Amino acid sequence: MTAYTVDLDVAGRCVLLVGDGDVLAPQALSLLSAGAELTVAAPQVPASIEDLADRGRLTWTTAQWTVSDVRAADLVVASDADEALRSCCAAERVWLSTPRTGSVRRPRTTRGSVTLVGGGPGDPGLLTVAGLDALRAADVVVCDRLAPLAALDGLDAEVVDVAKVPRGRSTSQEAINALLVERARAGQHVVRLKGGDGYVFGRAGEEAIACAEAGIDVRVVPGLSSAVAGPALAGVPLTHRGVSQGFSVVSGHVPPGHPASTVDYGALARSGTTIVLLMAVATLPAILDALEGGGLAPGTPAATIADAGLPSQRVVRSTVRDLARVVAEAGLGAPAITVVGDVVAVDPLRAGAQPDEVPWPAVTTELDGVERAG
């Protein structure tokens, strides 16, 4: 069969992704980033795909592809298309794409190493140049579900999904540490790809220690933390002259009063800084109550940003008193970032707006990259 390369705009098109293995995740994220309406046909998928399906970002059918699946698609993507799939696509007159890997030359070394790469908030365009160079030189990429997986599409590297899905499939940190050491000892250049910055609630420190104790060369490539990038992508500056002189970032994975919580929410409420909450969807009501109980005015502006940096990004804005209810009514889920403080009312994307000029009722604002409503 003679191949001919063409560019296809998949935005708004029904795309069927067929295959297996961890390579499905990069392909899926690449297609979703291009605006495709995606269905994945595979009996088994990495945790990242299952998570995307649970969040409604794509449709996952657990059976092998069928003629009906192909017929409903505008494009079929399959890295290893067998004769049956090729014949079906030809019979149904549906485009078939068989992406090739191996187009990127990688330097080979005899000594293994580990590079810990912070991938930013999810958009491949926000991955650093150093991070992209590391991926291009990798033999194996060990990745999280919130990493910019679309950046792996087409790279000549093995992909190992070690996602930690909240209340779902998860790989233990001990298993991840052992995997990094094992692969590096085998002489491979290992890239550990995380979302955001690995040193900001990312456990990269634990992985660096494990590698160093095993005598493995380890390098760190910082990433753009979602704590900073998420609010910026939603039009929320964390500091603003005359409004806020600093910001505090805390993890909300456990609620106030929990034995594992080390955050003094009363002190945080009185700090006078912008407050950024990560991993705080389930605990948001309790945290906002604790901040209000610590002295923060109930009318203080607050916003939650879900899927920051992705085409599915959504933002809701309200107040400390009402935000938890508004988030629940809007159906926002993890991953999400909450910002509390007067800076939420300073939206640089609204020309000329000042904090005292912008009322913030309990409304939902959805961002599609072009227009803002509300």
Q: Is 331 left (phi over 0), alpha (psi -120 to 50) or beta?
A: left
Q: What is the CA radius of gyration of the chain?
A: 22
End-to-end CA distance of the chain: 53
Choose the catalytic residue: 20, 54, 74, 164: 164
Q: In angstroms, rounded to a whole number, what is the distance separating the alpha carbons of residues 247 and 341?
A: 9
Choose the catalytic residue: 123, 144, 161, 347: 144
Q: Where are the alpha helices (DSSP H) in the chain?
A: 24-33, 47-54, 67-71, 83-92, 129-136, 173-185, 204-213, 226-233, 265-269, 284-293, 323-330
Annotated active-site residue 1? The verdict is no
Q: What is the DSSP letter of 143?
A: E
- Are the C-beta atoms of residues 57 and 312 closer than 8 Å to each other? yes
- Name the phi and psi angles at 40, rounded to 5: -110, 125
Annotated active-site residue 279? The verdict is yes
- Are the C-beta atoms of residues 194 and 122 closer than 8 Å to each other? no
Choose the catalytic residue: 54, 156, 279, 342: 279
Q: Which residue has the tokens 């998420």?
A: 230
Annotated active-site residue 69? The verdict is no
Strands (E), the chain: 14-18, 37-41, 59-61, 75-78, 95-97, 113-118, 140-143, 158-161, 189-194, 217-221, 247-251, 274-278, 301-306, 314-319, 336-340, 363-366
Give catalytic residue positions: 144, 164, 279
